[in-house]
Structure 1
């Protein structure tokens, strides 16, 4: 592997010079200087100890008073995978607020809860547990270039500028104002050019054009690093131009550290270093030692590796040094970065000390945090369509709430989530908001199959002869079913309510075993309601697997024969939303009759459709039409939901009864039929623990909606280029030439705004100078409401985007109120990027659109309110790319 060895002598010399410089500087540093403290610790370490600190699950070094630490902590929209926490709306919903200051408040609250979780679990010696540390692997600022990507819900949408602004806001909220003593450290990910397909991510080699790198894929990373001052970056699984991202000199050395002057640490995505040499992955190097050396030499500092991979052990790093693949000064460089990060966070100090020591362990999921969560959910909701039905003119006497997401907590929380202590589903929100109404709930359909129902006790037997009803229950005093059971008994059904409400005491697991007799022939699906950590087997075949919460999978249904007995085994961890578990199945003979009857009897029907994180997400196995590997092959509403929606409409139309569609998903969906037939449509995303209340309040008219789409809603996946094509032509509002269903930036209101008296100074601008613009925005309606003022720039250059978002602000206006909104367009806003990735300001005309959406975008009057301003640019000027 000469490409690794040829640079070693020069690199070692450069690193030695750098370390010598730091050592000289240390003499002038104070005794508590993080750099000096880190260098002192490093000077007393063996090579084996140094290597151990580069693993994400770093062991303790007791003789140096360095505690064990796990770098892996998730905080995408709240503290994730660490028990109860405030679960804010999913990241894509945060972007839909178009409100950077609000997102900063959210992230600051998330950081507070990380500090509280740390206080709850940190040991006397400073040891921390997985998901309870202070190095937060968020936000995800990849570009949601294609709605089929399952992880797009984790991003801030399709636009580099919006992603940049929300990303910087989130980073600043997490870290606070002082990089020397951050509240937590933010990790922007996944660097770079990463957005599916999920099934190919470990071996995909992407060759983005220089234009797309500059225009689309790198701006948000540049801004969160240089402006947001993110303290960490996560490198991606995929390769870029033939080199795995976590071993890329071009990305990590040249761009990140040299061009952008990044001083923090780089962490690999989990398993990405193993992918460098894996035969089924990139196979870029022949050995794991070469893979580790390639990553560390390029600038990767933390290796998130697990399982039996050789890259998961420090011994491989030691061998890389011994084999001459990795110079010890380069290893030292990585260790210094990590030690300094831990010192700045206070992770090597006494727990409870430092500037954030006053944050109590109890500051998790507090009433104040839930109040902010509700405010955020309200601001994230997007009213896609409204024929005048909403807000409701009077409170309904009866409401039928139908659909698979009506009472689903999974649909509230999205992925990379915590556990809300008091989740408010759409059903619960409507019941609370309309206490005098009779609220009926019928699922009517499952997400991709008939709805799940409780398995009746008379279908279960302890023995193969079915002489004894029930199932055998074994309890274990650990979460992994290890050792002998602490208790064994025969129970009537596979149902259990854990000890509650003290979730901290949930430390046990269970196993039910027995036989199940099918009631009818056909395909059945199974789940354990109310729980995430479980496995279900029939005759030894795995039919449902949600055991590993980090890597959940779903499995295909099983065809059963009526009257036949099947051995059933259910294993479950003590987890879940309310500690309650119940074995459920689908019945092949199910029909929609009950849902249709409930709709006929109601004054208002709310159909709650969409997806959950169990259908779209990270590298999953989902066996259903329209889904593959966590991604989607179709962006249509799943067929069972579409069928029921159409039947409901057919039943209700002759009765003149209103129908509201609430769609919950982390991505754009082709709601074409609904747009033509349903009078009101709300895009609710995965709206967080308080989401159901916010949705009910919107329907009631308690506030005027102002969320805006951070992605384009296309009419069909057929309108898009192939998913694996990373070229941006034909994608997003900037390059899509077709007619979208709902455009990027779209969102309706319960009031109406007008734009007047636009002015630009100057109207003829020389390149390199700013343009100051102003416009009057008036709320012409009879109620208060927020407006998201957006400004777009169009340039007529060959290959230029249709238009480019250049700025936005969310403002609140009372009925009849007018506000003068001012902003500045700099040279970059008037620039375009050529095929070579060079950014230039070209002479010629420019048009600025200022409005509540894109020009020509659908709005309450058929088009987004706004006004255009024409400019003339004189001269030509080259600009830095970012």
Structure 2
């Protein structure tokens, strides 16, 4: 071995000098600037890309800035999985959002600490969390709307402020993690074309609808990071828009953190926006505009950009100082004060966090209809559980999720609550025509013990050699194993599983058996191979080239068939599902059989992350590319509901989805309707507790439920006219803010602090809320303001809300203080001000005209311009 003594001495001197300098410097910004000054230009360029490599000579470890925490720390193994963001929004509970955010960052810290400060942290292992998504859910067709807090700027902003505070904690000098509200700004589909979409938004709509939540996230939530969006506005890609990223964000709002691009957004400027001829100039334009960090590799061309004079090296230094100051504040290098050093892996999916997940799922449930008080279901009720969402993991976890350790589906929840002997189950239908769904337990039987499911043998090698480490009966093959081992004694990166048993087709016909492997995002390695055998014949043998593997089988009878599925995990894929497409008549007949012997029917219908989501490869009736082309319930599920209702038995419809579904038939014919969203790991328990009356639902809709796609303006238009409750002139199926209870709330005695107000003064609004019923319950008290003299104003504007718990017969005066911004309006030029005029304020359990409440009026004199 040759030892280069001069290098060792020089490196030691440099490190000692750097350490001495850092010891003298006290602020993260000063430390960061000192560190950056010691980097070469080539090293600097590597550090403004999200996958920042180590620089050993400066003591810098590898750090990937990309981590996700939308509703639980995501894509890094076991975590507490909360309801999807739209479900959290349905709680209308700001305190709950803060608790969820705290849990997300606590579990992120635990995983970070397990690796250790000063060590390499690769993707999804860091403390810079790219959440929340606070884009306005302006159109229910957008597949990613499920990731948002709904359609209202004020509700979205207040929920975001609390979630961000939960993520970052109480100490700005030592954040527990960093929150990143996204996607700034005016971004909400369509998914097709999103990489080159140019938005023509009016100044009024920009200021009145699209910016307020981001402003709140920065000025009230003090978010330390912001993600800029893919789209352009008026021809300028947002990630290169200095007016937005520097003037508005930093100057007007006082933002001190760093801006990161959406992934490959810089590259998109060249390839799809044609903004610049190459990534050299696109990168230069972006970093000069204020995008400090590139999620991607386009910023590699900043080396050439500096050399050619397109951008100054000092501009890179500014961005890098922000980035490294963040890493210092997070305590990445260890040492010094670290209030989070004791957070260990025992806090990941802890008992307390599971309890919070159940609370969140309970609070997210919205009761939409309850004819003749069909709900709660009475003790001893025999329940027929039907529908494609009754027993699937994907409708619990949604997208951008962690791995749930012990997820509880609705079927399991109802069995636990009502007794397995009183619950019968049939899948009944797929999500949509041509969309495979996990083979249900009713069609699988273990040859080993005759129970529902297949016998799984788990091997600690990929050759199926020797004895299995574990053998068990798996009720269904529907698993999320992202970064986790499927059984004790196995390594998360290398194992094999063989499932054997019998497949029980319910009727003759053509069946498509599908093996779906959940692919690793952005992986270039070989995908996990699978093999499927039916009656000893190899019907599917895939080496990992295809995302969906299918075999069509014609069955002439209902005899059982031997089935064997072999799965080899040798890459970075994330789980496996055995799915099918079964004959519609056979599934409907199965559902009719279980309904026949039941006292009541609970139908779990809706959507799934297989059909709505980010850039999905799907094109079937009603769905395209992750978005929807029709907001109605898919036809196979509609047929199932009609078949069930024909029995004459009480029908409870539980909608599980990430967006509004036009349940017109169900509203007219079902006895009860419950919206449960994608409810997270404890969703099954929560739904069962609501249906049984153990918990009184108090959630409210964060979006408008329209009657038809025909009610909507063109999807590609970002003009707000005709959209959301604020500008929609039609009659909704269910309005924004709506939700029922098992009790009744009444309002009385509205009071204002003044009936005449000078511009700039605050206004206190209050009303007495009384629980008139016999059950304790939660009420979401909502305050809406109508500007009676302003032609540009929205129909109604939510300006305050509070979720309150009232015991039976309890009453309470609930008060709200409205400041200038809550009392303001926006003119055609996009200027916000408190204007003179007449105003009406409504306090109630929902929007004016759709719920009980009280109204009063006041006037404002004078004019007060407000800062942007």
* 1:353 Cα offset (Å): 6.7
Match of 1:293 among 274, 280, 284: 284
Q: Distance in 1 between matches of 2:364 and 2:339?
A: 33
The answer to whether structure 1 residue 872 and structure 2 residue 859 are counterparts is yes
Counting only pairs closer than 5 Å after superposition, residues 364-379 of structure 1 correspond to structure 2 as 364-379=348-363
SS of 1:687's equivalent in the other structure is coil
Which residue of 2 is the match for residue 7 of structure 1? none
Match of 1:687 among 675, 679, 698: 679
Structure 1: any 5+ residue segments left out of the alignment? 1-25, 459-472, 479-484, 858-863
SS of 2:338's equivalent in the other structure is coil
* 1:180 Cα offset (Å): 1.2
Which residue of 2 is the match for residue 420 of structure 1? 404
Match of 2:646 among 650, 661, 670: 650
Counting only pairs closer than 5 Å after superposition, residues 21-170 of structure 1 correspond to structure 2 as 31-122=25-116, 125-170=118-163
- 1:845–1:543 CA distance, 2 compared to 1 (3 A): farther
Q: Distance in 1 between matches of 2:807 and 2:497?
A: 58
Match of 1:354 among 322, 334, 338: 338
Counting only pairs closer than 5 Å after superposition, residues 346-495 of structure 1 correspond to structure 2 as 346-349=331-334, 354-392=338-376, 394-435=378-419, 437-449=421-433, 452-453=438-439
The answer to whether structure 1 residue 626 and structure 2 residue 622 are counterparts is yes
- Retained in 2: the 8 A contact 1:85–1:421? yes
- Retained in 2: the 8 A contact 1:387–1:679? yes
Moved more, 42-51 or 731-740: 42-51
Structure 2: any 5+ residue segments left out of the alignment? 1-19, 446-456, 521-526, 534-538, 557-563
* 1:766 Cα offset (Å): 2.1
- 1:587–1:793 CA distance, 2 compared to 1 (3 A): same
SS of 1:190's equivalent in the other structure is coil
Match of 1:606 among 602, 609, 614: 602
Which residue of 1 is the match for residue 514 of structure 2? 526
Q: Distance in 2 between matches of 1:377 and 1:55?
A: 37
SS of 2:586's equivalent in the other structure is coil
- 1:203–1:301 CA distance, 2 compared to 1 (3 A): same
- 1:208–1:144 CA distance, 2 compared to 1 (3 A): same
- Retained in 2: the 8 A contact 1:429–1:695? yes
Q: Distance in 2 between matches of 1:576 and 1:380?
A: 33
Match of 2:586 among 585, 590, 600: 590
Q: Deviations for 1:320-369, whole angstroms, at most 9, x for unmatched residues?
A: 1111112100011111111100010011225x971110111221001110
The answer to whether structure 1 residue 508 and structure 2 residue 494 are counterparts is yes
Q: Distance in 1 between matches of 2:318 and 2:159?
A: 32
Moved more, 266-275 or 768-777: 768-777
- Retained in 2: the 8 A contact 1:545–1:555? no
Q: Deviations for 1:65-103, whole angstroms, at most 9, x for unmatched residues?
A: 110011010000001111110001111111111110111
- Retained in 2: the 8 A contact 1:546–1:554? no
- 1:57–1:810 CA distance, 2 compared to 1 (3 A): same
Q: Distance in 1 between matches of 2:540 and 2:853?
A: 54
- Retained in 2: the 8 A contact 1:842–1:875? yes
- 1:66–1:451 CA distance, 2 compared to 1 (3 A): closer
* 1:879 Cα offset (Å): 2.5
- 1:795–1:742 CA distance, 2 compared to 1 (3 A): same
- 1:177–1:94 CA distance, 2 compared to 1 (3 A): same
- 1:594–1:329 CA distance, 2 compared to 1 (3 A): same
- Retained in 2: the 8 A contact 1:236–1:269? yes
SS of 1:788's equivalent in the other structure is strand
SS of 1:198's equivalent in the other structure is coil
Match of 1:321 among 303, 306, 317: 306
* 1:816 Cα offset (Å): 0.9
- 1:389–1:304 CA distance, 2 compared to 1 (3 A): same
- Retained in 2: the 8 A contact 1:528–1:534? no
Which residue of 2 is the match for residue 264 of structure 1? 257
- 1:764–1:29 CA distance, 2 compared to 1 (3 A): farther
Q: Distance in 2 between matches of 1:199 and 1:74?
A: 23
- Retained in 1: the 8 A contact 2:108–2:126? yes
Which residue of 2 is the match for residue 700 of structure 1? 692
- Retained in 2: the 8 A contact 1:477–1:507? no
Residues matched between the structures, number: 810
Match of 1:331 among 296, 316, 326: 316
SS of 1:343's equivalent in the other structure is helix
* 1:502 Cα offset (Å): 3.7
Match of 1:678 among 662, 667, 670: 670
Which residue of 2 is the match for residue 462 of structure 1? none
Which residue of 2 is the match for residue 10 of structure 1? none
- Retained in 1: the 8 A contact 2:438–2:577? no
- Retained in 2: the 8 A contact 1:704–1:749? yes
The answer to whether structure 1 residue 638 and structure 2 residue 634 are counterparts is yes
TM-score scaled by length of structure 2: 0.86
SS of 1:358's equivalent in the other structure is coil
Q: Distance in 2 between matches of 1:266 and 1:31?
A: 25
* 1:241 Cα offset (Å): 1.3
Counting only pairs closer than 5 Å after superposition, residues 120-269 of structure 1 correspond to structure 2 as 120-122=114-116, 125-269=118-262
For the aligned residue pairs, the C-alpha RMSD in angstroms reads: 3.8
* 1:409 Cα offset (Å): 1.4
- Retained in 2: the 8 A contact 1:531–1:577? yes
* 1:765 Cα offset (Å): 1.6
Q: Deviations for 1:25-52, whole angstroms, at most 9, x for unmatched residues?
A: x999963321221122112111111111
The answer to whether structure 1 residue 764 and structure 2 residue 756 are counterparts is yes
Q: Distance in 1 between matches of 2:360 and 2:31?
A: 41
SS of 1:202's equivalent in the other structure is helix
* 1:452 Cα offset (Å): 4.9
- 1:169–1:476 CA distance, 2 compared to 1 (3 A): same
Q: Distance in 2 between matches of 1:769 and 1:319?
A: 54
* 1:120 Cα offset (Å): 2.5
Which residue of 2 is the match for residue 468 of structure 1? none
SS of 2:803's equivalent in the other structure is strand
- Retained in 2: the 8 A contact 1:405–1:610? yes
Which residue of 1 is the match for residue 560 of structure 2? none
- 1:855–1:125 CA distance, 2 compared to 1 (3 A): closer
* 1:877 Cα offset (Å): 3.2
Q: Distance in 1 between matches of 2:681 and 2:101?
A: 16
* 1:537 Cα offset (Å): 9.8
Q: Distance in 2 between matches of 1:504 and 1:289?
A: 46
Q: Deviations for 1:186-220, whole angstroms, at most 9, x for unmatched residues?
A: 00100110000001110101121000010000111
Q: Distance in 1 between matches of 2:580 and 2:342?
A: 46
* 1:585 Cα offset (Å): 5.2
* 1:744 Cα offset (Å): 0.4
Q: Distance in 2 between matches of 1:554 and 1:615?
A: 15
- Retained in 2: the 8 A contact 1:390–1:700? no
Q: Distance in 1 between matches of 2:269 and 2:333?
A: 32
- Retained in 2: the 8 A contact 1:622–1:629? yes
Which residue of 1 is the match for residue 821 of structure 2? 828
SS of 2:73's equivalent in the other structure is coil
Counting only pairs closer than 5 Å after superposition, residues 843-854 of structure 1 correspond to structure 2 as 843-854=836-847
- 1:504–1:317 CA distance, 2 compared to 1 (3 A): farther
* 1:396 Cα offset (Å): 2.9
Q: Distance in 2 between matches of 1:489 and 1:787?
A: 57
Which residue of 2 is the match for residue 773 of structure 1? 765
Q: Distance in 2 between matches of 1:41 and 1:528?
A: 47
Q: Distance in 2 between matches of 1:162 and 1:622?
A: 32
SS of 1:441's equivalent in the other structure is strand
Q: Deviations for 1:526-552, whole angstroms, at most 9, x for unmatched residues?
A: 23499998677999xx9999989xxxx
SS of 2:120's equivalent in the other structure is coil
SS of 1:645's equivalent in the other structure is helix
